[in-house]
Structure 1
Amino acid sequence: MSQEFFQEVVNDLEKLLTTEKGYDVIIYAGENENIKELHAHSNILCTRSQYFNTAFSHEWAEKKDGKFIFKKPNVSPQLFKIILRFIYCGKIDLKELQGPEVLKLLIVVDELNIQSLISYIQNYLIKNQDEFLQQDPRGILEAVYQHESFTDLWNYCLEKICQEPKILFESDKFTSLKAPLLKLLLEKDDLGLDEIFIWDSLLKWGLAQNPSISKDITKWNKEDITIMERTLHGFIPLVRFYHISSDDFLDKIYPFKKLLPKDLAKDLVKFYIAPNRKPNIVEIQPPRISKHICDYDSILIKNHHFAVFASWIDKKNNLLHYNMKNIPYNFDLLYRVSRDSNTPATYHAKCDNKGPTIVVVKISNSEKIVGGYNPLIWISTNQVKSTNDSFIYLFTDGIDTKSAKVSYSNGDNYSIRNLAPYGPGFGQGSDLICRNDGQCYSFPSNSYPKIDGIPGGIFPIDDYEVFEVIKK
């Protein structure tokens, strides 16, 4: 009969790391005022890491007073302690690290060739640091691109950028994106951008590479045209010009026709002058098709807004708790004013007794989106309902989810207002009610904490939608 005592061995090795008894390796981690001396044992390092095994086997390995000396100025003492703990006892805890530190740790682990940790840290970043990956997509892409072993993280970053490309293309760091990465992105069939936006972004990027050239094309001379033509030469074939509207072609493409190959410019002019005539073109690239997990039927908001709704429904503190891959709800369109007519009877026929719903309202003459969530049901009778789970919200910028504000009900009897002559209603005042005359009104009450930015009183709207929220 055999008995195994793995935990006892692990505990003893961790104790050895802590007490440093018999160490023969000195590691200087960090630099300048942040440098710190760490101690380890060469036999353990060699056994657990091919990097150290190779390093110790060379005659050039630095030794002093019988001890090996390693200098790692590019690694902070905190990160090196985490690596040593893993080498000694197979334990690792990343919860105290911020996203940038986790990425630095991954890069160091790759340098030390600790394969099991490379896979683990990649998965950790993907599952737990989604917000960080969106904060600096350019920096993350460039860092990951330089390491062939970061396959999982690279694929995730590409998928994320293709799903929500404006987090990169509208960032202030987009114009410093390296050319190979920009080319790789423009080659993607599932890059979720309108083609004219891609063209505008490409011009913006090209001008940033040549700051001496004016942004006003009317001021370009022959040398400027030649420089821009050379800068964009490798990117022009990646723009799918035949999927741009005729107005955009006339306003935004034609003025720059000298940047295009002559044959392409000629074919495009023919195509847009006579759109009904079959073009004599061997191959026209198909339009890009986004590979979103779900494509929600909304004309007012984008898919990523629904991930925010899901986070609010589940009362997650992190606005980006969910992404397009892990939303736990389906959002099925029940009612749209512009599609179904703006009458109380139609609204109630389509939305009553359907279960939880989210309301999306576009305010006229602005980029603002407002709305609310009803975790109960809508009914036609003039009744009020109490709940702590309903909320109203505002996106001050309908595109940017970072502009979101949310306000949960205080649980009073007017959390949900069912009014036969109107659409959905929230709050006693009411905090938000959709009427049947192309308007909403908001008179803040005590039912929901006030959200600054929602217009007070009666205000016009362009449209509103109601979605049934269904748990997957």
Structure 2
Amino acid sequence: MTTKFYDRLSNDLTQLLENPTDYNITIKVGEASVSQIFKVHSYILQSRSPYLKKKFNESPFNENHVKELKMPNISTKVFNVILNYIYGGTISLEKLENSIIFDLLIASHELDLDELVEYLQTHLSTNSGSWLRLNFAHVYQTSFQKNFKIIQKFCNNIIAKYPDTIFESENFNSLPEDVLISIIRLDDLQLEEDKIWDYVIQWGKDKNSDLPANLNEWTSNHFLTLKTTLKNCFPHIRYFNISSEQVFNKLYPYQQLFEPKLWLDINAKFLAPNNPISSTILPPRNTFDVTLPTRTTTPISSNIITDEHALEISSWIDRKETPYTENNPYELELLVRGSKDGFDVKTFYEICDNVSNTVVVVKVEDTGEIIGGYNPLEILNNGSGWCYSQDSFAFSLKTENLKNSFVSRVKSFNHAIYYNPGSQKLQFGDVLNLRGNLMTTKNSYCGTYYYENQIRSYKEKFSVEEFEVFKVSPKK
């Protein structure tokens, strides 16, 4: 019987890292302004990382018999975690933000630390689903670039059930071809086949910006250009599951994209359904009988908040101790979006006049913070002053850099909401003060009075990337 003393071994090797006696490698990590030099031992790192072994063998010794390496693309925080794993076989993620853990995953892949790559993927998929969904486009594309199979599976499950997550995202047209193909190959993609065709055509057109907007102006060369772009996507569309009406409406205008035999078979399916077809017939997708909810709880997507955020806000409205995790009892109808309607506070008053039960959310410029407030009162575009409410609250929502969302409820009911359209001011007590043009001027700030807690740095003025207002209504 063999007895293994791994704990003592781990501790002793970690001590060697902290007091690097007889080191023979220095690794400069991070960019110049935030770099750090680590003194390490080649035999330990070579035995754990194939990538580092190769790098060490390629690097010469200096006059002090020490090899010098540089890794500017890895942060010092991430490399510290990696070294503790390499030397001691231990890793602690409790105090790390999800963005750092994801960077750690990328760095571990670069260093060929297969065991750690698998562990971190499992950790993120199991414990950080909300963060992965919040950063979905970046996560999904990275998972293909780095071949993160576990993360890919997590993302594909989301896309299959909630295809709007990717097809209606602003990043859809920038998807690499292999990523798009992996999506349209999904057997359980909950999307009608003719809509999949629409998205594929949209993606292909975006790759060829010189194609005329009017299809009637297209020449044979234009169709050939699009056909060449989409040649690897077309085999994964299930043409024989598209209705005759949609074949006529959507496929017929693009018939020059099809090989003659396939186009003949698509039409033969409707004209002579009993005749044999030589083209490959893919099986229908495994769509559910019930209508799935969309990934967002609002009728249209938000540029700022996710469905998890909307569930949290709804929980605060209902004063739930345990947040809703599904089946949001409220609908959030978009009334104002800064990038569409303008960022002036006066725009808020003009569009939302006499509307009650609203949620205001802003994404802070530079920091990416998402803050806002719920106002149960009717918005007044005439007059100004303080308004009474027992149910208003302000909040800061979970983001890449903030581990948890939190709420701040009104405690001075007479100073719940302050309206002043003439001066372009809107206030939730003093805890959230919105001023003037929210994008071009840096006059908005968060104070401490009249609500339970401050929601961001006291009196630090900010401008915003985006601004949205939603009407909250019970779901029918």
* TM band (smaller chain): 0.5 to 0.7
Answer yes or no: is the 8 Å Cα contact 2:165–2:295 preserved in 1: no
Residues 1:93 and 2:92 aligned together? yes
Q: Which stretch shows the higher mean deviation, 188-197 or 61-70?
A: 61-70
Pick closer, same or farther for the CA change 1:114–1:281 going to 2, 3 Å: same
The structural deviation recorded for 1:83 is 0.7
- Return the structure number with greater relative CO, CA threshold 8 A, min gap 6: 2
Partner of 1:108: 107
The residue type equivalent to 2:277 in the other structure is: I
Separation in 2, partners of 1:238, 1:85: 45
1:82-103 residue CA offsets vs partner (Å, 9 max, x unmatched): 1111122222123344444323
Partner of 1:419: none
> Which of 259, 278, 286 lines up with 2:283 in the alignment?
286
Pick closer, same or farther for the CA change 1:99–1:397 going to 2, 3 Å: farther
Partner of 2:167: 169
Answer yes or no: is the 8 Å Cα contact 1:55–1:61 preserved in 2: no
Partner of 2:25: 25
The structural deviation recorded for 1:211 is 0.5
SS of residue matched to 1:192: coil
SS of residue matched to 1:172: coil
Residues 1:210 and 2:208 aligned together? yes
SS of residue matched to 1:39: strand
Pick closer, same or farther for the CA change 1:194–1:37 going to 2, 3 Å: same
Q: Which stretch shows the higher mean deviation, 130-139 or 176-185?
A: 130-139
Pick closer, same or farther for the CA change 1:222–1:59 going to 2, 3 Å: closer
> Which of 319, 332, 339 lines up with 1:396 in the alignment?
332
The structural deviation recorded for 1:320 is 4.3
Give the structure with higher Rg (CA).
1
Answer yes or no: is the 8 Å Cα contact 1:207–1:215 preserved in 2: no
1:195-221 residue CA offsets vs partner (Å, 9 max, x unmatched): 111111011101111001123212222
The structural deviation recorded for 1:129 is 2.5
Matches within 5 A, 1:409-424: none
Matches within 5 A, 1:430-441: none
Answer yes or no: is the 8 Å Cα contact 1:28–1:70 preserved in 2: yes
1:370-391 residue CA offsets vs partner (Å, 9 max, x unmatched): x99xx9xxxxxxxxxx997798
1:416-457 residue CA offsets vs partner (Å, 9 max, x unmatched): xxxxxxxxxxxxx9xxxxxxxxxxxxxxx978989962459x
Pick closer, same or farther for the CA change 1:249–1:448 going to 2, 3 Å: farther
- TM-score, scaled relative to structure 2: 0.60
Separation in 2, partners of 1:109, 1:85: 13
The residue type equivalent to 2:208 in the other structure is: N
Separation in 2, partners of 1:129, 1:42: 34
Separation in 2, partners of 1:49, 1:233: 40
Residues 1:35 and 2:35 aligned together? yes
Answer yes or no: is the 8 Å Cα contact 1:393–1:406 preserved in 2: no
Partner of 1:128: 127
Matches within 5 A, 1:321-332: none
Partner of 1:411: none
1:247-271 residue CA offsets vs partner (Å, 9 max, x unmatched): 3223222222222222333333344
Partner of 2:471: 453
Pick closer, same or farther for the CA change 1:64–1:139 going to 2, 3 Å: farther
* Cα-Cα RMSD: 4.4
Answer yes or no: is the 8 Å Cα contact 1:130–1:320 preserved in 2: no
Pick closer, same or farther for the CA change 1:278–1:99 going to 2, 3 Å: farther
The residue type equivalent to 1:119 in the other structure is: E
Gaps of 5+ in 2: 299-304, 335-356, 360-375, 377-388, 395-468
The residue type equivalent to 1:453 in the other structure is: K
1:351-407 residue CA offsets vs partner (Å, 9 max, x unmatched): xxxxxxxxxxxxxxxxxxxx99xx9xxxxxxxxxx9977987323369xxxxxx999
Separation in 1, partners of 2:165, 2:44: 44
Answer yes or no: is the 8 Å Cα contact 1:29–1:72 preserved in 2: yes
Matches within 5 A, 1:145-184: 145-148=144-147, 150-184=148-182
Separation in 2, partners of 1:394, 1:270: 48
Answer yes or no: is the 8 Å Cα contact 2:143–2:152 preserved in 1: yes
The residue type equivalent to 1:26 in the other structure is: T
> Which of 287, 293, 297 lines up with 1:302 in the alignment?
293
The structural deviation recorded for 1:144 is 2.5
Partner of 1:331: none
Pick closer, same or farther for the CA change 1:51–1:183 going to 2, 3 Å: closer
Q: How many residues align?
A: 343
Partner of 1:352: none
Pick closer, same or farther for the CA change 1:48–1:184 going to 2, 3 Å: closer
Partner of 2:379: none
Partner of 1:224: 222
The residue type equivalent to 2:166 in the other structure is: L
SS of residue matched to 1:27: strand
Identity of aligned residues (%): 26
Separation in 2, partners of 1:114, 1:389: 39
Matches within 5 A, 1:239-254: 239-254=237-252
SS of residue matched to 2:329: strand
SS of residue matched to 1:95: coil
Answer yes or no: is the 8 Å Cα contact 2:295–2:307 preserved in 1: no
Matches within 5 A, 1:304-323: 320=308
The structural deviation recorded for 1:50 is 4.1
Runs of 4+ in 1 over 6 A off after TM superposition: 2-5, 386-392, 445-451
Partner of 1:368: none
1:158-184 residue CA offsets vs partner (Å, 9 max, x unmatched): 333323222111111111212222223
Answer yes or no: is the 8 Å Cα contact 1:30–1:77 preserved in 2: yes
The structural deviation recorded for 1:139 is 3.5
Answer yes or no: is the 8 Å Cα contact 2:331–2:472 preserved in 1: no
Answer yes or no: is the 8 Å Cα contact 2:125–2:151 preserved in 1: yes
Q: Which stretch shows the higher mean deviation, 194-203 or 25-34?
A: 25-34
1:84-127 residue CA offsets vs partner (Å, 9 max, x unmatched): 11122222123344444323322322232223212211111211
